[in-house]
Amino acid sequence: MKVRFREDQRKIMGYTRGYMGIPAVPGAGKTFILSHLVAKLAREELQEGEEILILTYMNSSVINFKERIREVLGEEGAQYLKRIRVITIHKLTSEILRENQERTGLANDYSNLTQANMYYLMSLAVNAYKKEKQKDFEFFLDVNEKNERNYKRWSDELVQMTLKLVSKCKNEDISPERLYSITKKYRRESILRVGGDLYSRYDKLCKKGGYLDYDDLLYLAYRLLKENKEVAERYRKKYRYILEDEAQDSNRIQNKILKLITNGNFVRVGDLNQSILATFTNSSPQLFSDYLKAHPTAPMFTAGRSSREICNLANFFVEDTRKNHPLKVARTALANQKISPVAAGDYPPNPQMDVYGIKAISEDTEYREMNKMAAFIDAFSKKYPEKRVAILFPKNYQIENAAKLFKKKGMKFQILADISERLVETLDFLGDLLLFLSRPYDGRKLVGILAHLVELDPERDSKLMRYLEGISMEKLFFSQDELNISEEMKNNEHWEEISKNIRRMKILLEFPQNSLERLLLFSGEIFNFTAEQQLLIEKVSGDLRRIFKLNPRWSIYDLAGELKKTRASEFTYLAKSVEEETEEKIEERYNITLTTYHKSKGMEWDMVWLFNVNSNSFPAYLSDNDYGRQNYLKKEYEYPRDYMEGEFRREFISREYENISIKRKSERIAECTRLIYVGITRAREYLILSCNEGHDNYYFRRIRDFIESEREIYEGYKKGE
């Protein structure tokens, strides 16, 4: 069937060569049009030996692009797939280094360090520093706040702020040796002095393990390409076209790499209004903005994702921010990009609504806000079981609270977070497995295992579960004939599956117990785990020696308890590492999703609830913004990241004074503004915003007033029909 492109898409499909920028609004169909453009270029423009390179920033995007391009090409175009590369920027730089290893001087066995492993190694550096220089570590803490809880908070803060310092140093070409040699002469009052020491320790750990982190990959690849013109030329000839998705998330060194390997056929696609990563990364949306000013553009401002009412709200939010935001520097936080609904006859059409599907709700407290939300979502999902629903939260603890509330109500949901539900369940399973192995005579521990392997419902299958908890484990595993299992139990729909898993458990019980590492690996083989889950089990088993070294008094029972902390456990970094190393499509088993505003980017749902649109989560004034404050530190160090940034700037950038706190707060306010925009544009049909009056919010009030006026107009129009 011939594809009918919209007017804005036809201009993009006419591209054959040169530089082009595509600014796009949410729901405009970026993946759709890029997939069709790539398929067309592969069929019509590629010469022998040439390829098309598509760069993106998330593994999930890699999967989506590959699937969509495969669909567009079809079976008759399958031969072109091998000439289309879809990879992340970090995978590209890793390949460049490995393909030119003789020029880099790198060892053959170096390993790429994931974000999670970077955090782990920096944690080791901080722990060693704390042990060796306890007085220096404690110096920054308020004299009345020196306790174990705050030692842990300060350690965690040092890990995060030093990792950001490391990234900044690599982007500025400042070696750990140079930073350390300068800062070691500073007085104890310097936080940058601590950062220099920690960076030096972290670097030694990386070299000892043969690790390169993400910034190493970027920096070394850039240096290789810059210093070896023939290498850069080889990639320019290889990649006839380069397309960069999510270009607003690029940083300066990535930008330099792409300039070195492009031969002039370069397409960059992005949405400046969805630049929400600068708080966590060194991304610079200004780079994409400058690119759009310097080169021809093909804007995609038409979108069919959301109803006209939601599009109107998103457009109001852009216009109101640009005209009226109380902080003048934040008025440019959103680019002047308005969403146009799809014209009649074009595809896909915007959802048509019989009601005005947008509300703003305010409650007295967060507790009431949470309960109101849960009751509404429960009722909505029962009324519209086919609708996909998401609740977006500013903070992770709110997701955990909502999950507990939803479970009490018997609601089925998934959590979309840094660690997939499947990997969380795997950690929980390993915990239950070890609990059972440490207490094999306890039927309750067996039921805990079976609950992972068989779909047991606590209410419907309560009789079966009580039966399993009460029978002799010895007889169940080694002499079932003596149990006289009733026909009622044997006829239960789950009994066959239970029997199969009991046989597997028996094999585990008979496995030599002298190696816990081998036992866990074996469990990964006999149960039906995915490749992703097996990789996590391998990582956990390989990490046991470290865990027991840190906790020499632990028993298997203690280890099980740690695993069952799931998202809060010692093993979380391993699960995050698996997420970063594998290309897994986001799986939604249920129609209700709990996630953060940040994690929702790139997703869409029929109904979206924006939770906690409050001043503490979405500041609009400098006085609102307490982000980064560590109130357990001495007064002058309460904002340690700003303090370190100021020291770094004076030493390496400019002696000219700049108020780092105001700059950082202004940047955060701008990013929070974009985060609300991202939240609004996730919704297709229904949208609810909520806040609590303890932290009233500028944005909430502006949006609520607009919603109320629009509702009156909508309902008046409906009455007049």
Q: Same structural domain for residues 596 and 665?
A: yes
149 and 206 co-located in one domain: yes
Q: In Å, how far are 355, 424, 508, 710, 711 from 717, measured between CA atoms? A: 11, 49, 68, 10, 10
Q: Are residues 231 and 199 in the same domain?
A: no
Q: What is the pLDDT of residue 1?
A: 59
> Same domain, yes or no, for 574 and 469?
yes
**Do residue 224 and residue 84 come from a single domain?**
yes
Q: Are residues 168 and 224 in the same domain?
A: no
d(CA 351, CA 718): 17
Could you identify the residue written with the tokens 């140079």? 178
Q: Is residue 25 a known part of a binding site?
A: yes
Say yes or no: 143 and 189 in one domain: yes
Q: Which helix (H) or strand (E) holds 393?
A: strand 389-393
Do 428 and 499 reside in the same domain of the chain?
yes
Q: How far apart are CA 382 and CA 385, in angstroms?
A: 5
Residue 29 annotated in ligand binding: yes
At residue 310, does pLDDT exceed 70? yes
357 among the known binding-site residues? no
Q: Phi/psi zone of residue 345: left (φ > 0), alpha (ψ -120 to 50 degrees), beta?
A: left
Query: Which pLDDT score, from 0 to 100, does residue 576 have?
Result: 76
Does residue 669 lie within any of the structural domains? Answer: yes
Residue 391 is predicted with a pLDDT of 98
Give the confidence band of 585 by pLDDT, cuts at 50, 70, 90. low
**Residue-level pLDDT at 486:** 77
Q: Which residues of 703-719 are buried (b: 16+ CB within 10 A; e: fewer)?
A: bbebbeebbeebeeeee
The mean per-residue pLDDT over the stretch 86-104 comes to: 92
Residue 40 pLDDT greater than 80, yes or no:
yes
pLDDT tens sequence across 268-301: 999 999 999 876 677 889 999 999 999 999 999 9
Percent of the chain residues past pLDDT 70, beyond the cut: 97
Whether 350 maps to a domain, the answer reads: no
Final residue in a domain of this structure, among 278, 294, 310: 294
Of 581, 608, 623, at which residue does a domain stop? 581
Domain end point (choices 530, 555, 581): 581
Q: What is the per-residue pLDDT for 449?
A: 83
Q: Is 78 annotated as a binding residue?
A: no
Q: Which domain range does residue 705 map to?
A: 358-418+588-720
C-alpha 163, offset from chain centre: 17
Pairing of strands 111-112, 84-88: unpaired
Of the candidate ranges 105-109, 314-318, 548-552, the one whose mean pLDDT is the lowest: 548-552
User: Tell me, what amino acid is at 664?
Assistant: R
Query: What is the share, in percent, of the chain residues with pLDDT greater than 90?
Result: 58
264 annotated to a ligand binding site: no
Give the other-Cβ count within 10 Å of 103's Cβ: 12
> Are 516 and 611 in a shared domain?
no
CB contact at 8 A, 266 and 258 = yes
Q: How far apart (Å, rounded) are the C-alpha atoms in residues 666 and 654?
A: 20
Q: What is the per-residue pLDDT for 9?
A: 96
Beta bridge partners of 595: 392, 416
Residues 148 and 261 in one domain: no
* 3-state SS assignment for residue 686: strand
656 located within any domain: yes
Per-chain mean pLDDT for the chain: 90
Task: Please check if 348 is assigned to a binding site.
Answer: no
Q: How confident is the model at residue 13, as a pLDDT?
A: 97
* Residue 690 · residue 609 · CB < 8 Å: yes
Number of domains, the chain: 4
Residue with tokens 């908890």: 469
The answer to the question of residue 205 being in a domain is yes
561 is an annotated ligand-binding site residue: no
For residue 30, say whether it is annotated as part of any ligand binding site: yes
625 — pLDDT class (breaks 50, 70, 90): low
Asked whether residue 303 is assigned to any structural domain, the reply reads: no
DSSP structure class, residue 349? P
Q: What would the pLDDT profile of 185-198 be if each residue is shown by its tens digit? A: 999 999 999 999 99
Contacts of 85 (CB under 8 A, 6+ apart): 51, 52, 53, 54, 239
**Does 626 have pLDDT greater than 80?**
no
Q: Are residues 127 and 230 in the same domain?
A: no
The structure tokens listed for 178 are 């140079």
CATH of the domain at 400: 3.40.50.300
Is residue 520 one of the residues assigned to a domain? Answer: yes
Sign of CA dihedral 103, 107, 108, 109: negative
Biggest CA pair distance of the chain: 85
- Asked whether residue 337 is domain-assigned, the answer is no
CB 454 within 8 Å of CB 494: yes
Higher-pLDDT residue of 106 and 586 is 106
pLDDT at 61: 84
Residue 322 counted as domain residue: no
Average pLDDT over residues 8-25: 97
Q: Find the mean pLDDT for residues 613-623.
A: 91
pLDDT at 663 over 80: yes
- What is the pLDDT averaged over residues 222-245? 96
Residues 172 and 239 in one domain: no
pLDDT at position 696 is: 64
